[in-house]
Amino acid sequence: MAEETEKKDDDQKPFPDLPVDIVRLIFEKAMEATPMPVHFALVSRRVQHWVEPLIYRNLTFRHPTSFTLFYRTLRNRRYSPSKSTSFFAKHVKSLHIVNKTAPKMERMIAIGRVLKGLRATAGWDTSWGCFVLGFLAFDSISTFGRALESTGWRLNTREMREGRRDDAERRRRTRRDEGLLRGWVDPDDLEGKVEEQLVPEEAVEHPEDTYPYKDLRRLSISAHSLRILHLDLTNRLFRDITHLDIYYCRLYDWSTLTTLKNLTHVAIDFLTLVNLNFTEMKHCMGDTIRFCQQLPHLKAIIFACVNWWSRDFDLLDDEHDGLSPLNYPPDDWQSGGPLILTTINEHHLHYFTQLSLGMHDPRVVLGVVSDCLRKSHLMKEYMVDFVWPKNSHDWDFTVPTEEHKESWDIAEEIIEMRVRRREERRQEIGVLSTIGCNYGDESEYLDGEFGFGEIVRRRWKEGKELVEEKIGDSSD
């Protein structure tokens, strides 16, 4: 029977004159196209075997329909006597839930229970974020439901039914000694303590680390979701996280950020889901920088804080007044020279400008969340583009790497450029470089070492050349 099946599949081979390995490489390369040609799975059973892992490798749900269809596929496999969900556990590496998806809680957790090979997960909404945390931080729907009781949430009939199935599945796996869903949160410890912080990891006895999502390294979530579920960053799910993208919540305890010893990249959004003015942002960012200075492996810190109302910070000083002598944008500078003093004390620049130049902590880079920057913005080359949908590509992995560079990589390039230029300026002055030794030691700063004057002169030169070019075109 096996020989007949193999022979039948060989008869359907699309390129009979080419070696099988070459044919497979052709199809795998073709699957990198955008949009992905999922219909290749219909060519033959052999081709289906090749391309299905690529089709399901990165799951991104932008609409309820696609989410529902995948849920049905998973359910059919989950309760089929002949099929298994191990395919998804092995091959699905990322899960991205976009705001418009609106998944139902029991379905979201049922899907998450299966995807134990996840390396990256993003839930960009407070509600959906809670659902994502429901399978990452809790061992059953019932346990998760009890944690939600403090918000007034009550499990409906369908959710309770899925919860019973979830519990039955967990018991079945326990009997088979697969026990992947045991141990990292004790359901009994949550009984009657919803209003309190979840039991710390060290308070639960662990014969071994049975946490099922051991490959998870990247997480994008809202701090509001964490606060609703009384979870802090000491939870087991954050232990191995290297890339954290999180929406800021002022009432959240950010001091636990210091426990993320494996964290290498962090992005914090100070605009979405929160309303902070300049002064409040400065205070919150200062606290965050102080916590991040205790993380030895952290390479890049992105503060998403620039939109249409905060974009003109490059023309303001630390008192939010216009830079002396005149507050004119560089677009209006004429051939007479820049209208901003190039010798201004860099310590009196706006806080956002100081961060853009690498002051306070050289690992900090600002992110722009809306398409609002003028072409002559003084800090434009020192900021990361966090505008939708570019930031989404950091999590859905649908755009080839040659067409999309991750925000993390761009931030690292900006950091390297700033450090290199700063070292060159210090060497010109004849001072040995101590960059990176003391992040907040302003006593070591030299006048002009962060290059604000150079940036102003460069923008003025670019503006002057543009004006001369326009004059030349008009005269012709």
The verdict on 46 and 79 lying in the same domain is no
CB within 8 Å of 353: residues ≥ 6 apart: 313, 314, 316, 378, 379, 452
Do the domain assignments include residue 1? no
Residue 445, CA atoms < 13 Å, CB-side half-sphere: 19
What confidence category does residue 444 fall into, taking pLDDT thresholds of 50, 70 and 90?
Answer: low
Amino acid at 247: Y
Do the domain assignments include residue 466? no
The verdict on 318 and 413 lying in the same domain is yes
Structural domain boundaries, residue 36: 18-54
Name which residue leads in pLDDT, 33 or 369: 369
The dihedral sign for the CA sequence 448, 449, 451, 457? positive
Angle of CA points 122, 128, 134, to nearest 5°: 90
Do the domain assignments include residue 164? yes
The verdict on 393 and 248 lying in the same domain is yes
- CA pair distance 171, 177, nearest whole angstrom: 10
The verdict on 188 and 262 lying in the same domain is no
User: Between the ranges 200-204, 232-236, 392-396, where is the mean pLDDT highest?
Assistant: 232-236
Amino acid at 186: D
Residue 184's pLDDT is what?
40
* Average pLDDT over every residue of 390-416: 87
Mean pLDDT of the chain: 79
Per-residue tokens: 162: 């899925």
Closest by CA position to 245, among listed 214, 227, 224, 218 = 218
Residue 420's pLDDT is what?
93
Residue 327's pLDDT is what?
54
Residue 110's pLDDT is what?
83
The verdict on 342 and 441 lying in the same domain is yes
Among 47-51, 52-56, 398-402, which stretch is predicted with the lowest mean pLDDT? Answer: 398-402
Do the domain assignments include residue 465? no
Name which residue leads in pLDDT, 52 or 80: 52
The verdict on 395 and 248 lying in the same domain is yes
Do the domain assignments include residue 231? no
Residue 437's pLDDT is what?
44
Query: Per residue in 318-339, pLDDT tens?
Result: 887 777 655 566 666 655 556 6
CB within 8 Å of 195: residues ≥ 6 apart: 150, 230
The verdict on 93 and 145 lying in the same domain is yes
Q: Quick check: 11 pLDDT over 70?
A: no
Q: Torsion angle, CA of 408/410/416/420, rounded to 10 degrees?
A: -160
The verdict on 26 and 90 lying in the same domain is no
Name which residue leads in pLDDT, 239 or 463: 239
The verdict on 48 and 106 lying in the same domain is no
The verdict on 165 and 181 lying in the same domain is yes
Q: Quick check: 131 pLDDT over 90?
A: no
Do the domain assignments include residue 236? no
The verdict on 30 and 102 lying in the same domain is no
Among 75-79, 131-135, 415-419, 443-447, which stretch is predicted with the lowest mean pLDDT? Answer: 443-447
Overall pTM > 0.85: no
The verdict on 166 and 212 lying in the same domain is yes
Do the domain assignments include residue 456? no
Name which residue leads in pLDDT, 168 or 236: 236
Count of domains for the chain: 3
